[in-house]
Amino acid sequence: MKTYIKQILMLFLTASVLIAFTNCKAVKNANNKQKGAVIGTAGGAVLGAIIGNNVGKGGNGELGAVIGGVVGGAAGVIIGNKMDKQAKKIEEEIPGAQVERVDDGIVVTFEDGSGSGVYFATNKYNLNTDSQATLNKLIGVFKEYPNTNILVVGHTDSTGDADYNMTLSKNRAYAVTNYLQKNGVSSGRLNTNWFGETKPIYDNSTSVGRAKNRRVNVAIVPNEKMIEEAKNNAGQ
């Protein structure tokens, strides 16, 4: 009887996640592999989605605290449902940001000129009023969903000296991290990394491409508390 009830529960939770898929633009934009990863059938893409495969080149390397494996089974379904809701909330609060669901996590990208409200003047790393207003909305979501860890990653375009760009990406990433912490996000949830010009995702030979490469990514992943609660609720 207990086994039967668990089977019914898993079917119900799976249906709930599938409904969330159809309602969340972030998930609509994901490919089939990413969709499968949300419910625990694939893994390992969160880190690659924001910085590529060469971990630790140029950053502080403190990625283990926030990047983990994908949780499978019914617990993965529960976590996926919670992260879907959080992704949808971010989309609602910050329409100009690029929000993607990858594995058990969420990747939020702020690009120069994207209209998302987090950008930097040339060679600067201070946050202006518009950027602070956008981050305040993100902070509100973080406080509403406290059982997550957050990784902030800075990038630049290829204009100028590579060493200078590495430092600039570090300063911009920390500008975001420090603002989050200053405004109520626990330091225990935060990690920071930076990669200068080494991880372009657009063509640096065009002004549009360079603007998109000047970006800060925020990865949001479930913390141990969320994972343990999901496993307990799923009976795993």
pLDDT digits (tens, 9 = 90+) for 52-82: 544 444 444 445 445 556 777 888 899 999 9
pLDDT digits (tens, 9 = 90+) for 82-123: 999 999 999 999 988 889 888 888 988 887 766 667 877 778
pLDDT for the residue 134: 92
Q: Which domains does the chain possess?
A: 2-234 (3.30.1330.60)
pLDDT tops 80 at residue 225: yes
pLDDT tops 80 at residue 17: no
User: What are the φ/ψ torsions at residue 190 (nearest 5 degrees)?
Assistant: -110, 140
Residue located via tokens 């570090």? 170
* pTM, rounded to two decimals: 0.74
Mean pLDDT of 135-149: 95
Task: Write down the H helix ranges in the chain.
Answer: 2-23, 25-28, 32-38, 46-51, 73-93, 129-144, 162-182, 207-213, 224-234
pLDDT tops 90 at residue 23: no
C-alpha–C-alpha distance, residues 46 and 32, integer Å: 15
Compute the radius of gyration of the chain from its Cα atoms: 18
